[in-house]
Structure 1
Amino acid sequence: MTDRPVLLQTIALLPSLERALAESYIVHRLPGRGSERDAFLAERGAEITGVVTSAASGADAGLIGLLPNLRVISSFGVGLDRLDVTAAAQRGIPVGYTPDVLNDCVADMAMGLLLSVARRLPEADRYVRAKGWQGGGHSPFPLGRQVSGAKLGLVGLGRIGRTIARRALGFDMEVRYHTRRAVEGVDWAYEPQLLDLARWADFLVIITAGGPGTRHLVDAAVLDALGAKGYLVNVARGTVVDEAALVDALKGKQIAGAALDVFEDEPRVPVDLLTLDNVVLAPHIASSTVQTREAMGRRVLDNLSAFFSGRALPSAAAS
């Protein structure tokens, strides 16, 4: 017999985090979809007191409903669009996540993507590898777009958005932002209308929450407003952008380019995006550094430890 809490792990996590969980808890791995999953939940669901998940996996109302003794959820990541926080709150189940510890890495990635697409770095790499620089009938490498002194529009100004804005100051960029309401205590200019921000910006960076409320927030009209000299950078959620409209805008040169770390149907990426030179693509790696992922793992553990010790979660998601 043991008095260790029983956890359900929904997805593979860092090996170091899995080892730490196994030291303090009884951990069951959730089987994949289908009859095996259903049988496991029917047999063992009542034993589960905690769920360890990720922003990519989440925990929907259906799963929560099959765990009658669930008391806490701890998620690896900041995205809550696949976590039914409302369903958890209705049962008094706190939800922990890992904000703040990844702010710097995501902001670094946003600026890296911005520089890459503006200065055509992946394209330049391919040009050198193809020996275009050495002549042989190749055209001269095309000019890029200067970043210093450009206008940066942020769609979202949460923790990460503010960190990106501070990064941009080092490039002497003028910064404005759009959110549903103006953010108190910041010096950057607020644009109440997203279309106005897009018209103004040279670079439009998306760093807002995902979910139904922001689905296709950046649509054909926003891309048209961004215009033929504007660039789109997305380090938020793929669903925020109407991907079909983005492909059309890129193919038609309605915008200058896009740099994307996220997509609507990951890991599937539209074929058209793979063939365009004015696009920089990354496989959802904004927080993918050793330092940040280890810090996220520690926060997952801290949230669980606090709950089972009768203390408030260090990072609890608002319902």
Structure 2
Amino acid sequence: MAQRPVILTGFHFTKTALAALSEGYEIAGHMDRPDPALVPVAAQPHVQALVTTGSVGASDALMAAMPRLSLICCYGTGYERMDLAAARKRNIMVTHGADANAPDVAEMAVGILLASTRRIVRADKMIRRGDWTKRIPNRFGPIAGLSGGKVGILGLGAIGMEFVKRIKGFDVEIGYCNRSKRSDVDFAYFPNVMALATWCDYLIVALRSDASNRHIINAEVLKALGPRGHVLNISRGWAVDEAALADALRHNVIEGAALDVFDEEPYEGQELLGLDNLVMTPHFGGGTEHAQRRMTSLVRRNLDAHFAGKPVISPVPELRDMAAIPDGRLR
């Protein structure tokens, strides 16, 4: 019987996901963080694939620690901390979750947008404190509500389009900013994030995070959004300058915000924790059972294709031109 390909995990996957991987592959170990020193010594000469997430990432040094590595599978859409130049240099294919969790992340986006704009979390805490009669401190006047508002989507990709399906029922105007104007929608198009933020009331960050858009939501964009504005991020944490966001929330530059993702995860900072006009969730927009099954299936299909010498199913866009490695199993 042929020896099964050897994989290493770089993220704490569920038992169900690990069982699906174990059906066809030998799991040689796990790293708690992407440190070359944490690759099990006995596994270093044998690991052929790394299964991790884009927010964890993989450096050139980490890849070098596994000389037979030929594939990195990112569980989920993002791959912002992957050194793609190093991967190309080493002929290592990188895949990602593509659109597997888009409906679930879009659902989460609607939820935290409502939580922020309708002050749901603050209201819940108010009741638990016994302050029903005091109501929520009303620094900004009556709660506006979504109806009749302007929703700006930064990044009208798969998640953005799924979000549109769900938000249309709230009777809002929709605008978007993309790398290029889409021909299949008739929403207002804005050529840059400043123009979008100036126009909209609610700014939804749903773009692919890479080096070109790190901290694209900065102090200037937040000022343009204005004192009744809300921003929410369900893409990748580093798209938002968290220090600028904290300052804007603290000084009422914007009314509220919601984050499901953070620049460093898990979030261990302090500056965001005391803000009552910020809703935070621990990066589980794609954490539904349905999304987990789809993402696990896609990782498995990418592994199977690669080690059968076939093109992978969902390569990251920057590496689509790389041919499949014919003898990935033997590398």
Residues 36, 65 of structure 2: 8 Å contact kept? no
User: For 1:97-145, what per-residue CA distance to the aligned partner results, in whole angstroms no more than 9, with x for missing partners?
Assistant: 2122200111011111111111110111112222323x4xx35775422
Structure 1: distance between partners of 2:66 and 2:298? 23
1:74 matches 2:76: no
- Residue 18 of structure 1 aligns with an amino acid whose one-letter code is L
**Whole-Å Cα distance in 2 between the matches of residues 178 and 231 of structure 1?**
17
Question: Structure 1: where are the runs of 5+ without partners?
Answer: none
1:148 is aligned to 2:150: no
Cα 1:35–1:202 shift into 2, 3 Å:
closer
**Cα deviations across residues 204-263 of structure 1 (Å, max 9, x unaligned)?**
111112232111111111011001011111111221111111111111111111111112
- State the match for 2:38 in structure 1: 37
Change (3 A) 1:255 1:183: same
Q: Is the 8 A contact 2:222 2:248 kept in 1?
A: yes
Map Cα deviations across residues 141-197 of structure 1 (whole Å, 9 max, x no partner).
Answer: 754221122101111111111211222212121111112322332222210121111
Check the 8 A contact 2:11/2:32 in 1, yes or no.
no
**Cα distance change of structure 1 residues 234 and 36 upon mapping to structure 2, 3 Å threshold:** closer
Structure 1 outlier segments of 4+, above 4 Å: 31-36, 139-142
Distance 1:248 1:224 in 2: 11
Q: Superposition RMSD on alpha carbons, in Å?
A: 2.1
Q: Which residue is 1:15 aligned to?
A: 15
* Partner amino acid, structure 2, of 1:198: A
Q: What CA distance in whole angstroms lies between the structure 2 residues aligned with 1:17 and 1:140?
A: 43
Q: CA deviation at 1:269?
A: 5.0
2-side partners of 1:145 and 1:216: how far apart?
28
Does 1:240 pair with 2:246?
no
Aligned to 2:221: 222
Q: Which secondary structure does the structure 2 equivalent of 1:153 belong to?
A: strand
Normalised by the length of structure 2, the TM-score is 0.88
2:314 alignment partner in structure 1: 315
Aligned residue in 1 for 2:284: 285
Alignment of 1:3-152 (within 5 A): 3-31=3-31, 37=38, 40-41=40-41, 43-133=42-132, 135=133, 138-139=134-135, 142=138, 143-152=142-151
Question: Are the equivalent residues in 2 in contact too, given 1:110–1:164 (CA < 8 A)?
Answer: yes
Deviation at 1:83, TM superposition (A): 1.7
Structure with the higher helix share, 1 or 2? 1
**Match for 1:305: what amino acid?**
D
Alignment CA distance shift 1:170-1:314 (3 Å): same
Structure 1 residues 76 and 228: CA distance shift in structure 2, 3 A: same
Separation (CA, whole Å) in 2 of partners of 1:10 and 1:285:
18
SS at match of 1:166: helix
Q: Deviations over 1:30-69 (max 9, x none)?
A: 445779526x35x532322222112232222222223222
Partner Cα distance (1:282, 1:238) in 2:
12
SS of 1:63's partner is helix
Q: Distance in 1 between matches of 2:128 and 2:64?
A: 54
Counterpart position of 2:326: none
Aligned to 1:267: 266
What stretches of structure 2 of length at least 5 have no aligned partner? 320-331
Q: Deviations along 1:261-289, whole A, 9 cap, x unmatched?
A: 11222223543422222111111111111
Aligned residues: 314
Distance 1:217 1:4, change over 3 A: same
